[in-house]
A and B are shown apart, each in its own frame.
Chain A
Amino acid sequence: MEGDKRFWRAVLLALPLAVFAVFVIWPLASSFYYSFTNWNGFNPDYDYVGLDNFQKIYTDKLFYQAAINTALWMIAAILLPTALGLGLALLIDSSVPGSAAFKSIFYLPICLSAVVVGQIWVWIYQPDWGLLNTVLEAMSGERLRYAWLAKPDTALWSVIVAWSWQQTGLSMVIFLAGLTTIPEDLLEVCEIEGATTAQRIRMVVIPLLTPATVVVIALSVINSLKGFDILYIMTGGGPFNSSDTLAMHMYNESFKKYLMGYGSAISVVLFLIALTIIRVYFRQLRKVDELYG
């Protein structure tokens, strides 16, 4: 019987493990290997260059810019989609008529591609006839021709807003799922004891939403590390690299300048950052499980 089990384990796991090992694990390990080389993407040959690529990271101003932008993106990712998603979830959960329709509306952007979302927002930010300038002009009465995506000061934030518009729905549904786990009688007790809505939300609902909050924040941070597609479409990392992220910088160095060795070194750094966040996430999930599960 046990021998049978062992046989079937091997048979059933063979294909998925082989595919995952060859096309995910092995490339990941090779990224470390290539980060010590100067491979240029065309030539099959390359030299081993030791820690040169990592030393270059240390002096690369564009890398710093990209790292700071990625950090800003992460902070904004925690604040914007998380806070907005929580607010929307609380509003929708208050047995408002048409809550299903509201849910769909806020969730809809998730099923659109980064390319389409990017294009929509490029139109919104368009200096001459974009929605944003049109509305601002109507409100202020002045003629505004601000090029949101072409100015180093606003390019990154403009993309982050577009990205948050897409991500908010995801945070909202996770919070809504969390809200359904809060026992009804607990909220009734609050009402009987005379707590105001604000007190109830602050002292009962938000603490009990901790598991959902952990998930939402972790997902937002992890997704912000992946910030690439929508940036590529909206600004390409410009102007003057002012909206570069690490993922974008890695792409530029590898597939524009063909510095695949250096690109690998950046991807190693990206991997280590992701690994740290994922470990914190898993540890928090376990802690939350012990406390609330």
Chain B
Amino acid sequence: MADAAVLPPARPPFNPWPAVIFVALIVLALLFLAPTAGVLLSSVKTTREIALGALWSIPAELYLGNYAEVLANPAVHRYLLNTVLVSAPATVASIALGALAGYVFAKLPFRGSNLLFLVIVSGMFFPPQVILIPLFRLFNAMNLIDTLWPLIVIHTAMGIPICTLLMRNFFATVPNALREAAILEGANEWQVLIRVALPLSLPALAVLATLQFTWIWNDFLWPLIFTQSDEKRTIMLGIVNLRGQYSVAWGVQGALSLIASLPTLVVFLFFQRYFIKGMTMGAVKG
């Protein structure tokens, strides 16, 4: 004790690494943010300011005319409405179907169920091009080209692999004793699924809702193939369509991109935890 009073307390040797790492990360983060920031900056500038070569600079003043222009365009309203009409039902339907299948694979396994599960899950790894032509022929024969139906149905079907995977993995963590107790009290499997397993699986449902909604909202290929008239376009195709109309109005294009990304950005900001969990769970447990 006496020594401690005399000697100054041992100072850890200076370690520059945390500071270096922090600075490196700041630089990398700025590089990563630059592209997105460019769109944000352009969206609050007048076309004139951009034409003078100032797309990437900080705007002299905040100009909101681009947003007003986009929001006043009835085509944009239609595109957004169409996208909601596709992504809402397809998100719900794919999760519902995945929950049904996932429950069987987790709680009622049978001979060959592992193989069947593997076949379903591998569906999420194939490029969509491998089923494009037959689906085009099918919906053409059903006279459903240029309606929203093919998009809803295909997104539902294509969502089954990831939804089944995540729901099975989550249901597997629900104790079997709970299911058995409920069965002993006279409940059937449907009641166990709805009243016991699903209420315990809200985090998994949140994960899937954020993932599915983002993917379907952002999709480009299926609406490109199945919609033709402007009436049925979804927002991502709408952006491409309107590019001609606003060909030099870069600011309007930027505002349009941001408005189109707003729903997924909001989902990302509020449910980021679930989103990341879903991405890693889907990848690692495959």
Tell me whether B25 is interfacial, beta carbon within 8 Å.
Answer: yes
Q: Which of B3-11, B66-74, B154-162 contacts the other chain?
A: B154-162
Question: Contact at A17–B101, with CB atoms within 8 Å?
Answer: yes
Interface residues of B in 23-46 (CB under 8 A from A): 24-25, 28-29, 32-36, 38-39, 42
Most B CB within 10 A of own CB, among A123, A268, A282: A123
Question: Contact at A20–B153, with CB atoms within 8 Å?
Answer: no
Given A116-B239, A211-B284, verify A12-B261 contact (CB < 8 Å).
Answer: no
Q: What 0/1 readout, one digit per residue, does chain B (47-88) give for beta carbons within 8 Å of chain A?
A: 000000101100000000000000000000000000000000
Question: Contact at A113–B261, with CB atoms within 8 Å?
Answer: yes
Given A12-B101, A19-B157, A211-B284, verify A254-B35 contact (CB < 8 Å).
Answer: no
Question: Contact at B29–A120, with CB atoms within 8 Å?
Answer: no
| Cα A97 to Cα B29 with chains together (Å) | 14
Most B CB within 10 A of own CB, among A116, A250, A266, A270: A116
List the B residue with the shortest CB-CB distance to A222.
Answer: B125
Residues of A within 8 A of B128 (CB): 226
Among A12, A27, A123, A226, contact of B127 (Cβ-Cβ < 8 Å):
A226
| Interface SS of chain B | helix
Among B18, B130, B264, contact of A28 (Cβ-Cβ < 8 Å):
B130
Tell me whether B202 is interfacial, beta carbon within 8 Å.
Answer: no
Given A19-B156, A170-B279, A271-B130, verify A109-B36 contact (CB < 8 Å).
Answer: yes
Residues of A within 8 A of B125 (CB): 222, 274, 277-278, 281
| Cα A129 to Cα B50 with chains together (Å) | 9
List the A residue with the shortest CB-CB distance to B33.
Answer: A105
Question: Contact at B193–A92, with CB atoms within 8 Å?
Answer: no
21 sample A-B contacts, Cβ–Cβ < 8 Å, listed by A number: A9-B104, A20-B97, A24-B157, A28-B126, A28-B130, A31-B130, A105-B33, A108-B33, A114-B236, A115-B220, A115-B240, A115-B257, A116-B260, A120-B36, A131-B38, A174-B283, A215-B286, A226-B128, A228-B127, A247-B127, A281-B125
Q: A residues near B, CB below 8 A?
A: 4-5, 8-9, 11-13, 15-17, 19-20, 22-24, 26-28, 30-31, 34, 39, 41, 44, 88, 91-92, 94-97, 102, 104-117, 119-121, 123-124, 129, 131, 134, 165, 170, 173-174, 177, 197, 211-212, 215-216, 219, 222, 225-226, 228-229, 232-233, 246-247, 250-251, 254-255, 260, 263-264, 266-268, 270-271, 274, 277-278, 281-282, 285
